[in-house]
């Protein structure tokens, strides 16, 4: 019953298939605002879980526009190519992040994150 407003980024964990396309399994994560961090309200929907995300080191790329699945897949592929075979990162998932409300038409920020192993 507590209104917390929207936070950024909205982070979507995706699981790539062998061909680079995204599987239908996704996990959407929203940051709990600072005022609620110490004692977050309990979700009334059992499909919503509160998780603490541990610190991580990431490899990231940023792009603009209204991001679609194909954009995230393309930028993930570009990031993979840029990193080459030397960088050690998780291959079983990556994170797609959006920072802007839907009504913001210009100057949008999106990112793809690979989590360093």
The CATH number linked to 83 is 3.20.80.10
Query: Residue 2 region, left (φ>0) first, then alpha (ψ -120 to 50), else beta?
Result: beta
| Residue 14 near residue 91 (C-beta atoms within 8 A) | no
Per-residue model confidence (pLDDT) at position 41? 86
Sheet containing strand 22-30, edge to edge, reads: 22-30, 10-16, 94-98, 110-115, 58-63
Distances from the Cα of 47 to the Cαs of 28, 42, 99, in angstroms?
12, 12, 24
Per-residue model confidence (pLDDT) at position 96? 97
In a domain, residue 104? The reply is yes
Per-residue model confidence (pLDDT) at position 66? 96
- The domain tally of the chain equals 1
Per-residue model confidence (pLDDT) at position 112? 98
Per-residue model confidence (pLDDT) at position 35? 86
DSSP state of 75: H
Which residues in the chain show pLDDT less than 50? none
Per-residue model confidence (pLDDT) at position 26? 86
Per-residue model confidence (pLDDT) at position 6? 78
Name the residue range of residue 87's domain: 10-33+58-116
Q: Could you give the CA distance from residue 65 to residue 58 in angstroms, rounded to a whole number? A: 22
In a domain, residue 83? The reply is yes
């Amino acid at each position: 019953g507590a209104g917390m407003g929207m936070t950024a980024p909205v982070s979507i964990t995706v699981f790539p298939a062998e061909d680079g396309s995204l599987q239908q399994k996704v996990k959407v994560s929203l940051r709990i605002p600072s005022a609620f961090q110490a004692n977050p309200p309990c979700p009334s929907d059992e499909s919503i879980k509160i998780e603490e995300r541990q610190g991580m080191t990431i490899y990231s790329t940023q792009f603009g526009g209204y991001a679609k699945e194909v954009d995230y897949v393309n930028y993930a592929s570009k990031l993979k190519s840029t990193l080459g075979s030397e960088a050690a990162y998780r291959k079983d998932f990556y994170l797609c992040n959006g920072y802007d409300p839907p009504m913001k038409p210009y100057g949008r920020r999106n990112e793809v994150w690979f989590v360093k192993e």
